[in-house]
Structure 1
Amino acid sequence: MNTFTQKTLLGVMLAGTTALPALADDISWIYCGDSIDPVHEKYIADWEAANEGWTVTPEVVGWAQCQDKATTLAAAGSPAAMAYVGSRTLKEFALSELIVPVPMTEEEQGLYYPHIVDTVTFEGTQWGVPIAFSTKAFYWNKDIFEAAGLDPNTPPATWEEEIAFAKQITENTDFAGYGLSAKTFDNTMHQFLHWVYTNNGQIIDADDNIVMDSPEVLAALQAYQDIVPYSVEGATAYEQNEMRAIFLDGQVGMLQASVGAAMRLADTDINWGVANLPLGPSADGPGTLLITDSLAIFAGSGVEEKAIEFAKFITSPDVQLEYEMSPTAGLTPLRPSARVDQLVEESPFWGPYIEGIAYGGPEPLFTDYKGFQNVMIDMVQSVVTGDAEPAEALSEAAAEIEEYK
């Protein structure tokens, strides 16, 4: 085991933690959230009925503690059979030999949208089964556009237009032009990566080379600097959901957000629109960051093979789509289907969330993901606050994340 990685994982162990009950034919599942989704409850029962003698025992753990709970048990040598984890952690778990591979056949891989499988792949092997997927789209307040003298039915198509529109809103109304999130929080990095992937940029390539110090990524960071004067004041105080609340309150003209924003906007009086994320000068087409959460199968439970079987069942196309369409899920579908096509036709706001996938990029996999994330947040914040210029901040960050790959 890599010594640095081992220390990283052991560092999150909590004194006095105990493992889930170990039964020979039981698959223990650390399940993130406040409660089990009814879709999963239904299909757990179906699977148990078809697999006599086997049970699946979910342990519901809140989002803030869920990942640490899975890591703690695994590092202590008493793992759950399966856990819901952010796919960003799979490389760290794999190098620490805490999880087992979950290889996909070419047929299985071909059922997903492009690049989805990349979010769980390290050194050519899949290490988790995607169970949740998020992309972003662009929202604008049509009434604020009109008040600023902009066409309310024409959102910006490029970064250049986005910055110009934000400036016009700020100068001609009492509203902020854009909702920029830069709090010390994981989605500050995610928000920035959406800009990277709408300009054909990369952070780390398929050969594990850091390629972040590039014209494409520099342009994204420069755009951040350029839009700060026309964004909500004090961007470092807000994470994306807090900024979304400001948009829902009708106080900001433009925002990038997940599909959950559309669900919430339906209950407001805001005159809003949704479109593809604006594109940078090097873009080949509509892009977005592709974020997945996955089911990881932990080594040492004694039921690894059966846990893989169940994980693939509970995320199989029909079951997964039913879960994604749950009113409370707010997820982008992982796979194309006739039902997804129908969904886009019935609710056009879904279109941008799907269209951005083809040119999107996966969340980068790092051995020490939190170390990488912190460097990225520091870089963004230094530019947003004016403490550093984009080129300098980018070069320093690119050098610093080398130790975390």
Structure 2
Amino acid sequence: MNKQISLGLLFGGLLLAAAVHAQQLTFVMCGGEVREADQKVIDQFQADNPGVTVEMEAVPWGTCQSRSTQLAHAGDPVSLSYMGSRTLKQLAQADLIVPVDIDPAMRGLYQPNVLKTVENQGKFWGFPHAFSTKALFINCAIVEQAGLECRGPRTWDEMYDMAKTIKDKTGIAGVGLAGKDFDNTMHQFLNYLYSNNGTVIDPDTNEITLDSKEAVETLEFYGRLADVAQDGPTAFERSQIKDLFNDGKVAMYIDGPWGRGQHNEDVQATSITVPIPAGPSGQSGTLLITDSIAVFKGTGHEDVAIKLAAALASGEAQYDLDSSWGLTPIMKYEQVIAEKPFYVDDPYWEVFVEPIAGGGPEPLFVEYQSLQTVMNEMIQGIILKEGDAADLVAEAAEALEEFK
């Protein structure tokens, strides 16, 4: 073989190797922005993997999840997407995403039950990447105006009695209640359900478990709260209730840790944050919601996409995101970082961290939008007094069989 041919083959081989290693990952980020903590990891990943580029597209929540799903169905999948974990079961059943391997040592770092938000029948379908729990915010100025001591109610009965006294004595709604046809209406109900030892579906057997004494008790309580809440709860979702709280028109409502930063100075100065009260069949709990990074199937570089997703969800990178964004800590960071984590010794964060072990995940359904519709119709039914709790729960449980 002469030297010219040899050099030609060598040059051709180098071009082929470069083509193999030159990979462009497309990444759809729900929420309309790429957080600085995430961008730092992505920049470092590109620097550590020559030839790999990551094209980011930040898309608002309203259209983002459907965009990623539609592209996959059309045979043009994105490499990975940050989206609500509620979508994972549907995507997995449609064979649009690949399962991911989370190292056993890494699994032990997550807060209790967090991995249940991405797990279905023994497989993980995404890396959890943002986490929220909920607590009860109380405006003490309104409580004291009603002649009551401002302290957190420990039980549902105590919460109802407080709310009723406030409404009777001040005319102000005792509690803000979500009832609009919106995802956080179902979420608000689940906070109470998980504080009463109830569930919606068994993730291991895929059996619907909603039709239970615990769920009936929860729905009955939600209906009682409607009597001491703002007028017309079916017109309100959580952010609108937050506005009422800021305006001094409701005495208490449930929100995530970001709530404090969204309250005006006067309300912040007079408010306390306490655990969600326990139901008659349970103890104080919370809904555990995560968003996660899913890796789509059919790109030819799933392994590289998984590597990037794992880097974004790794310990120190994840801590940077949680602490800068003000999220509930998704991991036990005492075991991850050298310094004291932001939530340790802070009473505000304690009420968001302590209930995690007793909390429950957002239920995973193949038709997650249908889950929301069925649950909201059940909730609206009790608010509008269209049936008794037992019948409404039984009807919802039967309807959910179609969408699991």
Q: TM-score by structure 1 length?
A: 0.91
Give CA-to-partner distance per residue, 1:5-60, whole Å, 9 cap, x none: xxxxxxxxxxxxxxxxxx95111100112321111122211111111111111111
Q: Distance in 2 between matches of 1:341 and 1:276?
A: 23
Q: Distance in 2 between matches of 1:341 and 1:275?
A: 23
Structure 2 residue aligned with 1:356:
355
Q: Distance in 2 between matches of 1:24 and 1:95?
A: 31
Q: Please give the secondary structure, in 1, of the residue aligned with 2:272.
A: strand
Q: Distance in 1 between matches of 2:157 and 2:373?
A: 28
Structure 1 residue aligned with 2:99:
101
Amino acid at match of 2:97: I
For residues 143-154 of structure 1, the aligned pairs below 5 Å read 143-152=141-150, 154=151
Q: Distance in 1 between matches of 2:272 and 2:99?
A: 42
How far did 1:238 drift? 0.5
How far did 1:269 drift? 4.3
Structure 2 residue aligned with 1:335:
331
Match of 1:126 among 109, 124, 127: 124
Structure 1 residue aligned with 2:18:
none
Q: Please give the secondary structure, in 2, of the residue aligned with 1:44.
A: helix
Amino acid at match of 1:203: V
Q: Distance in 2 between matches of 1:351 and 1:341?
A: 14
CA contact (8 A) 1:216 1:282 kept: yes
Q: Which runs of 5+ in 1 are unaligned?
A: 1-22
Match of 2:115 among 106, 114, 117: 117
Give CA-to-partner distance per residue, 1:161-189, whole Å, 9 cap, x none: 01111100000003100000000001110
Q: Distance in 2 between matches of 1:345 and 1:79?
A: 41
For residues 3-402 of structure 1, the aligned pairs below 5 Å read 25-152=23-150, 154-205=151-202, 206-265=204-263, 267-270=265-268, 271-283=270-282, 285-326=283-324, 329-338=325-334, 342-345=341-344, 347-402=346-401
Q: Distance in 1 between matches of 2:192 and 2:141?
A: 25
Give CA-to-partner distance per residue, 1:62-85, whole Å, 9 cap, x none: 111110110110010100000112
Amino acid at match of 1:77: G
Instruction: Kindly report the root-mean-square deviation, in angstroms, between the aligned alpha carbons of the 2 structures.
Output: 1.5
CA contact (8 A) 2:323 2:342 kept: no
Change (3 A) 1:66 1:77: same
Q: Please give the secondary structure, in 1, of the residue aligned with 2:230.
A: coil
Q: Please give the secondary structure, in 2, of the residue aligned with 1:161.
A: helix
CA contact (8 A) 2:118 2:125 kept: yes
Q: Distance in 1 between matches of 2:387 and 2:107?
A: 42
Q: Distance in 2 between matches of 1:165 and 1:275?
A: 14
Q: Distance in 2 between matches of 1:57 and 1:110?
A: 32
CA contact (8 A) 1:30 1:66 kept: yes
Q: Distance in 2 between matches of 1:236 and 1:123?
A: 35
Q: Please give the secondary structure, in 2, of the residue aligned with 1:203.
A: coil
Q: Bigger CA drift: 334-343 or 109-118?
A: 334-343
CA contact (8 A) 1:180 1:228 kept: yes
Amino acid at match of 1:344: Y
Q: Please give the secondary structure, in 2, of the residue aligned with 1:274.
A: strand
Amino acid at match of 1:233: D
Q: Distance in 1 between matches of 2:265 and 2:346?
A: 15
Give CA-to-partner distance per residue, 1:71-100, whole Å, 9 cap, x none: 110010100000112111111111110000
Q: Distance in 2 between matches of 1:267 and 1:325?
A: 22
The alignment-based identity, stated in percent, is 40
CA contact (8 A) 1:24 1:303 kept: no
Give CA-to-partner distance per residue, 1:190-237, whole Å, 9 cap, x none: 110011100111111121111111111111001011111100111000
Amino acid at match of 2:171: D
How far did 1:345 drift? 4.2
CA contact (8 A) 1:138 1:276 kept: yes
Change (3 A) 1:156 1:296: same
CA contact (8 A) 2:319 2:333 kept: no
Give CA-to-partner distance per residue, 1:124-144, whole Å, 9 cap, x none: 000001111111001101011
Amino acid at match of 2:95: E
Amino acid at match of 1:47: F
Q: Please give the secondary structure, in 1, of the residue aligned with 2:294.
A: strand
How far did 1:347 drift? 3.5
Q: Distance in 2 between matches of 1:50 and 1:342?
A: 28
Amino acid at match of 2:61: W
